[in-house]
């Protein structure tokens, strides 16, 4: 109790901002509930949202505490090569909007799809593939949410002195309530505010750290420090092929992860997609150019003694000679916003997937009102289970983030990309690609040469090859009606190819 009172006296601006932010979340939950009349509204905002809103939501959903805490601090250990994350993020975001968004929006509307598993099930005519996709999403999501919880727990503990377990509990209650109540509409409204906050916060965090380090040029003084040369070596902190794998696993999410792809479901028109690409890509370019180098500058501020890079940013925020109380309060608010913007999206994906693609397959003919009620219940359940996992996380933030991305890349790349752009394929091909991708991903590092290349590359390559091979060799195909709807002219084209000359 004494520690709490001391925290309130010392960091009262932080507590005031957090209270006001919580009130805003409650308001968005109320308006979201008022505007939700069915599952399509609760899951994908009724497919009627603007490109600006979805562009900011797409950015905010990805940019969690994993970015502000994990990605920002990783250069402290891995050095200059980690800066390759910036072009990787910008490129993959741009590709997702140009390559995936317009096609996915149209296809899912045609199929009346509300989730990635039901898109897979409808597209390939397989309830088994749909069910397995749902299970994979739940499994991968636990790792990602645990990473987010760990990041915000570390921040609140270091900066405000709130015990880690209590911090996890506070975040759990807040994010669970407003996500369950308001659904997708509430989440996107909050994401827009959170996205703007995070853009400003990136400027404040970067400028404060660089100033404390001695200016922009201070980064080039590091090689002269003890151990500094390794920070400028391609393999000083981690083997370069493995680094490339981590970068790919962290960014392939843009085109395969359900929480990111669900944003495209909600776009109101093709024009909205053309607007969203510039809003999202510009936000990523600005923010990550500022965040990713912070770990390098932190060497001048914190020294070289930290062993956990997840503590770099919390330690910077706790330093009075780096950030004033007001700046620190705002930055902590931004970190909380970053955590919420990812947790709410993942929770909604998990809950909608569980209800629509697991319970919905096992319990047929459930009313829409009942399905909506159960989806809200699943939000609470998954938030609670993940919060418990976060009390003893299995690894660091970057590792857990990369693992979840690797799972999605290895499993969903063939089904999503080829499902959108190739008329062939079936449920057997999807299931086979899932199983091969997971097997290679989990077993690669046990091979004698496994440490040379990150597991995501062979897992994704073999998963894709398996899908194509099974699809070409199998007589089974998706529904002709579905294929004709998604690939107009495919029947007539084939008929023309078979016609006698």
d(C-alpha 198, C-alpha 209), whole Å: 16
* Mean predicted confidence (pLDDT) in 50-59: 94
> Model confidence at 493, in pLDDT bands (50, 70, 90)?
very low
The pLDDT value given to residue 275: 94
Does 118 have pLDDT greater than 90?
A: yes
Distances (CA, A) of 338 to 107, 192, 326: 30, 11, 18
- 3-state class (DSSP) for residue 267: strand
Percent pLDDT > 70 in the chain is: 93
Strand partners, 267: 49
The pLDDT value given to residue 68: 84
pLDDT digits (tens, 9 = 90+) for 450-459: 677 888 889 9
The pLDDT value given to residue 2: 57
Does 494 have pLDDT greater than 90?
A: no
pLDDT digits (tens, 9 = 90+) for 227-248: 778 888 887 778 888 888 888 8
pLDDT digits (tens, 9 = 90+) for 314-328: 888 878 888 887 887
> Model confidence at 272, in pLDDT bands (50, 70, 90)?
very high
Distances (CA, A) of 164 to 254, 344, 498: 30, 20, 67
Distances (CA, A) of 159 to 211, 290, 328, 331: 20, 22, 9, 11
Among the residue ranges 128-142, 155-169, 464-478, the one predicted with the least confidence is: 155-169
Strand partners, 49: 267
Beta-carbon count within 10 A of 69 CB: 30
Higher-pLDDT residue of 393, 126: 126
The pLDDT value given to residue 11: 62
Percent pLDDT > 90 in the chain is: 36
The pLDDT value given to residue 499: 39
Beta-carbon count within 10 A of 135 CB: 15
What is the three-state SS of 215-260?
CHHHHHHHHHCCCHHHHHCCCCCCCHHHHHHHHHHHHCHHHHCHHH
Does 448 have pLDDT greater than 60?
A: yes
Beta-carbon count within 10 A of 411 CB: 28
If you write DSSP's letter for every residue of 405-444 in order, what string do you get?
HHHHHHHHHIIIIIHHH-S---HHHHHHHHHHHHHHHHHG
* Mean predicted confidence (pLDDT) in 159-174: 82
Distances (CA, A) of 213 to 76, 84, 296, 331, 480: 13, 22, 9, 18, 63
Distances (CA, A) of 138 to 141, 180, 259: 5, 17, 12
């Amino acid at each position: 109790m004494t520690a709490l009172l001391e925290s309130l006296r010392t960091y009262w601006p932080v507590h005031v901002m957090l209270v006001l932010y919580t009130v805003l979340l409650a308001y968005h939950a109320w308006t979201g509930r008022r505007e939700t009349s069915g599952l399509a509204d609760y899951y994908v905002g009724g497919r009627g949202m603007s490109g600006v809103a979805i562009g900011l939501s797409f950015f905010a959903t990805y940019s969690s505490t994993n970015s502000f805490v994990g990605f920002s601090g990783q250069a402290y250990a891995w050095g200059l090569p980690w800066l390759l994350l910036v072009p990787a993020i910008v490129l993959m975001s741009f590709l997702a909007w140009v390559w995936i968004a317009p096609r996915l929006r149209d296809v899912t509307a045609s199929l009346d799809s509300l989730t990635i598993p039901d898109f897979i099930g409808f597209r390939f005519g397989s309830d088994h593939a749909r069910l397995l996709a749902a299970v994979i999403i739940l499994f991968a999501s636990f790792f990602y949410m645990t990473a987010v919880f760990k990041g915000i727990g570390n921040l609140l503990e270091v900066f405000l002195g709130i015990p880690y377990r209590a911090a996890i509990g506070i975040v759990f209650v807040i994010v669970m309530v407003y996500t369950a109540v308001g659904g997708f509409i509430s989440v996107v409204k909050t994401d827009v505010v959170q996205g703007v906050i995070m853009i400003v916060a990136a400027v404040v965090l970067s400028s404060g750290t660089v100033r404390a380090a001695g200016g922009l040029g201070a980064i080039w003084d590091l090689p002269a420090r003890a151990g500094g040369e390794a920070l400028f070596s391609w393999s000083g902190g981690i083997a370069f092929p493995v680094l490339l794998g981590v970068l790919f696993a962290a960014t392939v999410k843009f085109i395969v992860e359900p929480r990111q792809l669900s944003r495209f479901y909600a776009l109101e028109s093709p024009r909205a997609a053309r607007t969203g690409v510039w809003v999202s890509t510009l936000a990523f370019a600005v923010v990550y150019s500022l965040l990713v180098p912070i770990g390098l500058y932190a060497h001048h501020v914190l020294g070289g003694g930290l062993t956990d890079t997840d503590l770099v940013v919390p330690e910077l925020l706790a330093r009075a000679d780096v950030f004033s109380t007001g700046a620190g309060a705002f930055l902590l608010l931004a970190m909380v916003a970053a955590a919420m913007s990812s947790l709410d999206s993942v929770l909604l994906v998990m809950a909608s997937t569980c209800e629509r693609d697991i319970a919905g397959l096992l319990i047929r003919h459930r009313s829409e009102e009942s399905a909506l009620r159960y989806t809200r219940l699943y939000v609470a359940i998954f938030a609670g289970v993940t919060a418990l996992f976060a009390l003893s996380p299995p690894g660091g933030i970057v590792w857990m983030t990369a693992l979840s991305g690797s799972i999605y890349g290895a499993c969903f790349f063939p089904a999503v990309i080829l499902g959108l752009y190739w008329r062939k394929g079936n449920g057997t091909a999807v299931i086979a690609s899932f199983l091969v991708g997971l097997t290679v991903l989990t077993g690669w590092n046990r091979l004698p040469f496994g440490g040379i290349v990150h597991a995501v590359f062979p897992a994704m390559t073999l998963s894709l090859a398996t899908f194509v091979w099974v699809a070409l060799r199998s007589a089974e195909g998706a529904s002709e009606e579905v294929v004709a709807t998604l690939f107009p002219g495919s029947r007539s084209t084939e008929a023309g190819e078979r016609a006698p000359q």
